[in-house]
Amino acid sequence: MQRIFHFTLVLLLSVVLVGCAANKKKAAADVEDSSVNVQSDSTLQGLSSDDSDSGQTLTTTDNTLDLDDPLGTRVIYFEFDSNALTPEAQRIVEAHAEYLARNPGMAVVLEGHGDERGTREYNLALGERRANAVADLFQMMGVMSDAVRSISYGEERPVAMEHDESAWSLNRRVEILY
Amino acid sequence: MTKMFIAGVLALVVGPLCVSVQALTIEITEGQETGMPIAVVPFQFQGQQRPSEDIRQIVSANLYRSGRFLSLAPDNFLRHPTSHDQVRFRDWRLIKAEALVIGRVKQVNDGYEVSFRLYDVYKQKQLAGYIFTVGSGSREIRQIAHRISDYIYEALTGVPGVFDTQIAYVTTEGSGNNKLYQLKVAQSDGHHDQTVLETSYPVLSPAWAPDGKHLAYVSFGDDKRGATIWLQNLYCQNCKREKLLEERVSSPAWSPDGRRLAVTLYRNGNSDIYIIEISTRRLRRLTKHPGIDTEASWSPNGRHLVFTSNRSGRPQIYRISAAGGRAERLTKVGRENLNASYSPDGKQLVMVTKQGNKYQIGVFYVDSRELEILTDPSAVESPTFSPNGAMIMFATQKGGKGVLVAVSADGERQNILRVHQGEVREPAWSSRKQ
Amino acid sequence: MNRAVRKFSRPVRAVILAVLVHVAFGLLLGLSLSFKPQVIKPGIAKPVKAIVIDRSTLAQEETSKKEDEKKRKADAEKKRKKEAKKKRKAEAEKKRKKEAEKKRKKEAEKKRKAEAEKKRKKEAEKKRKAEAEKKRKKEAEKKRKAEAEKKRKKEAEKKRKAEAEKKRKKEAEKKRKAEAEKKRKKEAEKKRKAEAEKKRKAEVEKKRKAKEARDQEKQDAYSALNSLVGAITGKIEENWSDDRACSGQEVIISVKVNISGEVTGVKLIGEGGDAACRRSAENAVYKASPLPFPDNPRFFKWLDQEDIQFKFNKK
């Protein structure tokens, strides 16, 4: 109980922050990718980039807040180097699975993450497996596979920047995004 | 008579044992590891407009950074010779310089003529001498200084130098959702960087093609599909970068012949190693294990790949034939071993290893299966050998910031590369000379 | 050495002696041929018409002869004178005389012949006597001679014996002397040998001592050098700046130094090490010069024989 309370509090705060940040972010979103100066000699030239990489913000849309409702929890956490669902996580995932099964029109994105320890590629794969663990459970519970998309960001999108276990434990997560 | 005979025989036998002493042999088992003392004399300048870069300083710094040289301070030089006939070897023996470099920069039309000579001080012999013509741009002048450093390095160590090479790396600026990622390519000392890509999405795993012209790297698309690999020709003015595959894929590694990439595909909830033919995009699966298989890297002869797998519980390094088959576990020591890549001679692997609670850079000897720890425990990632196998570059944290470190392959001398604003990570070292 | 010479001298001496003897004899022979000696033979006396006369007759004879002579002479003179006178008369007389002469001559002749015969007989007698005398003399002589001879022989025998005795004595003396000489020589030889032996032993001892001293000096030299090994090693290590060049390699360098420890020669031994490793090792040696080195000049001649070898081996 205590734990859920903490989590929702954190979620609240982050939502607030994100909300504020979102405004600022909008201004910065128009940053264009620049191309590199072409040199007159035959060394490095033509370093250009694609338009598809213009700035994107990361937002959460559905801000349902219900401290008791597992559906209100959109993040589940994992142990180090593990993609196994804790009982707590399982409970939350199941709630979402049920919801999705009841609402076939809804689509969800599962974002897998890991803490900064280890290497980036490994953590990318680990995040992928964590997201898949949730997706598998969804599927088992009758959610249509095309309603679910999993991607991994590895350690690239941490929520906590410190270099200690409290930060790391927060980063080892799957976010359920509608 | 008999007595004398016996005495004589005894003398012959015993004499050598008692009094003989062979040539004295003294074993010398260690030295100073300071590197060869080398004196690089300030280059003479002829002209009006001095070059924008101090060639002497660049050469000195390069040689020192390699860990094999001790660059002597010019203040201690008795004389500053700039031509062959001005050289007095005695001057250099006095300060115990083992090698001497002198040079000249002469302004010509739209650039400079740069020449240098390298001497073995104690043998009193010239070892190398070259003359170059360069433009006046700072980048070119630095590049000539790197090339000169390479000539000197190779003449004195027998190993090709890697100063005139390029490194690719990722920098980040800002934090949180404002974070900006840049994929950059620079000279080996971090100077004259050029941005290949700037994006707000994470960029990782840059990998040089053997031709030194193409880069493969991982980035995230706007389409929320996750990681994907891009190929980019750095020397093509109007070429756009191309996506390797339309599905989630990461961890690119070029084959030694440049025709294939080993990649990690995320299919059916599993990450496995595949080999893709670049020209046809044809895929061949290499690993079939349900565990995580990623971070593949080719052996220099193209016959094997090493990769990271957690099939035994925690991540360890495995080796598999490029033709496929059974994977053999290589690392038995250490709780975790990840991100292995071969040395240019194929005899060693550099990797990230976890012995206690922290990660360290380790050098793994393929034959003896011994693992040598190179660095103190800290947060380290993505180690890579220099193209001559004499140095290792990796990313770590210093003062809370991400930095790149170049260390001599025996771990003795560490140098932090010029740190940009923000943080640096994911180094990749190209072997191609400019 | 002495022994050797002596060994060889005996046959040589014999040869020399032989030659000398031959030469001596030759000389003698030569000398003997160079003048004719008087050969005294006991000759047989020529038979002399000897008349046996006794001494008084002989004296009478002698005197009568003398008187006859005198007389004759006077007669002759007279005769001459007479002759002369006679001559004149003689002429005439001559004829007569001639006839008378003839006759006288015949008579004289006859007389003479008788005289002669008488004389002859006398002579013969004389001769016989003489012969007998001679014979007697001869006998006497012979006897005498025989006696003399006997005497002489006796004398000779005596002499000979004496000679022999003398010779024997001489021989004995000679022998004794020779013996003495031999003994003396032997003694001398023995002494000489003893001396030589003593000398030789002294030489051997001297040599042994000298060798001992040399060996000791050599050992001391090497000890001195050995005690500096730590310092030398330290100095080389101090100056081996690029030891990384020799990672896993081994290079052996042979170094010559002068008495001050200054490196005067550097030589690579064997095939170990690549160019960079060898250079780093050579430079370590050059820079470490002068090396700590025993500065005792007596030691240097030993240490100079052999080089110091440095085995550079960085594991």
- For C142-188, the pLDDT digits (tens) are 777 777 777 777 777 787 787 778 878 888 888 888 888 888 888 88
Cα–Cα nearest to B366, from B336, B345, B383, B380: B345
Kindly determine whether residue B202 and residue A151, on different chains, have CB atoms separated by under 8 Å. no
Contact C243 B30 (CB under 8 A): yes
User: Domain limits of chain C?
Assistant: 228-313
Residues of B in contact with A37 (CB under 8 A): 194
Q: What is the pLDDT of residue A24?
A: 41
State ipTM: 0.87
A150: in domain:
yes
Distance CA C23, CA B310 (A): 122
Place of tokens 């003294």: B26
Residues of B with CB below 8 A from A46's CB?
233-239
Asked whether the beta carbons of residue C254 and residue B23 sit closer than 8 angstroms, the reply is yes
Task: With a cut of 80, say whether residue C8 has pLDDT above it.
Answer: no
Range picked from A50-64, B3-17, C220-234 for highest mean pLDDT: C220-234
Four-point Cα dihedral B72, B77, B79, B81, nearest 10: 10
With residue B273 as reference, give the H or E element that holds it.
Answer: strand B270-277
Matching residue, tokens 């040199």: A39
Chain A, chain B: beta-carbon pairs less than 8 Å apart: 163
Give the mean pLDDT of chain C.
79
Q: Is residue C190 pLDDT above 70, yes or no?
A: yes
Domain around A164: 60-177
Confidence band (pLDDT; 50, 70, 90) for B84? very high
- Name the DSSP class of A155: T
Using a CB-CB distance cutoff of 8 angstroms, which residues of chain B are in contact with residue A134?
Answer: none
pLDDT for position C164:
79
pLDDT beyond 80 at C295: yes
The closest CB to that of B96, out of C287, C313, C315, belongs to C287
**pLDDT score of C61:** 67
Residue A61 is predicted with a pLDDT of 46
CATH among 3.40.50.10070, 3.40.50.10490, 3.40.50.300, 3.40.50.800 for B36-157: 3.40.50.10070
Q: Does B205 touch chain A (CB under 8 A)?
A: yes
Q: How far is CA B186 from the centre of its chain?
A: 14
**Minimal Cβ distance to C215: which of B19, B157, B158:** B19
Cα–Cα distances (Å) from B136 to B66, B114, B139, B334, in that order, read 27, 11, 9, 52
| Positive/negative CA dihedral, C104, C105, C107, C112 | positive
| Domain C228-313 in CATH 3.30.1150.10 | yes
Assigned domain for A19 exists: no
Chain centroid to CA B324: 29
Q: What is the pTM (predicted TM-score) of this model?
A: 0.68
- pLDDT of amino acid B62: 93
> pLDDT band at residue C55, thresholds of 50, 70 and 90?
low
More reliable by pLDDT, C74 or B337: B337
> B83-97, C21-35, C177-191, C214-228: lowest mean pLDDT where?
C21-35
* CB of B315 less than 8 A from some CB of A: yes
Size of chain B, expressed as the number of residues it contains:
434
Residue A50 resides in a domain = no
Listed by start position, the domains of chain B span: 36-157, 166-429
Mutate to test the interface with C, among B26, B89, B119, B124 (most CBs of C within 10 A): B26
Distance CA B196, CA A50 (A): 11
Name the burial class of residue B291, with classes exposed (0-12), middle (13-18) and buried (19+) by CB atoms within 10 angstroms of its CB: middle
- The domain that contains A101 carries what CATH number? 3.30.1330.60
Average pLDDT, chain B: 90
Q: Is residue A80 part of a domain?
A: yes
User: Residue A148: beta bridge partners?
Assistant: A108
> Residues C232, C235, C238, C241: is their CA dihedral positive or negative?
negative
Q: How much is the pLDDT for B214? A: 94
Q: Which residues of C55-64 are buried (b: 16+ CB within 10 A; e: fewer)?
A: eeeeeeeeee
User: Can you tell me the distance from the alpha carbon of C309 to that of C253, in angstroms, rounded to the nearest whole number?
Assistant: 6
What's the pLDDT tens digit per position in B207-250?
999 999 999 999 987 777 889 999 999 988 888 899 999 989 99
Q: Residue A55, Cβ neighbours under 10 Å: how many?
A: 19
For residue C242, list chain B residues with Cβ-Cβ distance below 8 A.
31, 35-36, 68-69, 98
Query: Does residue A45 lie within any of the structural domains?
Result: no
Q: What are the per-10-residue average pLDDT scores of chain A (178 residues)? A: 62 54 39 32 37 41 54 89 91 91 89 92 95 93 90 92 92 93
Instruction: Kindly tell me the sign of the dihedral angle through the C-alpha atoms of B177, B179, B180, B183.
Output: negative
- Separation CA B165–CA B146 (nearest Å): 8
Q: What is the pLDDT of residue B409?
A: 86
Q: Tell me what the mean pLDDT of segment B58-65 comes to.
A: 93
Q: What local confidence, expressed as pLDDT, does residue A166 receive? A: 93
The H-or-E segment that residue C154 falls in is: helix C55-227
Residues of B in contact with C281 (CB under 8 A): 28
| CA-based nearest distance A121→chain B, Å | 6
Q: Determine how many CB atoms are found less than 10 A away from the CB of residue A142.
A: 12
Sorted by sequence, the CB contacts under 8 Å of residue B219 that are 6+ apart come out as: A53, B181, B197, B199, B201, B202, B203, B204, B227, B228, B230
Neighbouring chains to B with at least 3 Cβ pairs closer than 8 Å:
A, C
Residues whose CB falls within 8 Å of the CB of residue B377, separated by 6 or more in sequence, listed in order = B355, B356, B357, B358, B359, B360
Chains near A (3 or more Cβ pairs under 8 Å)? B
Separation of alpha carbons B168 and B182, rounded Å: 10
Chain B hits for A125, CB-CB cut-off 8 Å, are: 250, 264, 266, 271, 292, 294
Structural class in CATH, domain B166-429: mainly beta
* Three-class secondary structure of residue B397 per DSSP: strand
Whether residue A74 is contained in a domain is answered as yes
Give me B253's structure tokens: 């590694």
Categorize the per-residue pLDDT at B413 as very low, low, confident or very high, splitting at 50, 70 and 90.
confident
Chain B residues closer than 8 Å to A120 by CB: 204-205, 381-382, 426
Q: Average pLDDT of C108-118?
A: 75
Q: Of the candidates A46, A81, A153, which has its C-beta nearest B239's C-beta? A: A46
pLDDT at B167 over 50: yes
In the DSSP assignment, the letter for residue C314 is: B
C257 against B328, higher pLDDT: B328
Q: How confident is the model at residue B4 (pLDDT cuts 50, 70, 90)?
A: low
User: B300 CB near a chain A CB, below 8 Å?
Assistant: no
Mean pLDDT, residues B285-314 taken together: 95
Between the two ends of chain C, the Cα-to-Cα distance in Å is 61
Bridge partners, residue A177, by sequence: A109
- Asked whether residue A23 is assigned to any structural domain, the reply reads no
In chain A, how many domains are there? Answer: 1
- Write the pLDDT tens digit of every residue in B376-401: 877 788 999 999 999 999 998 887 78
CA distances (Å), C238 to each of A56, B89, B120, C289, in order?
60, 21, 20, 12
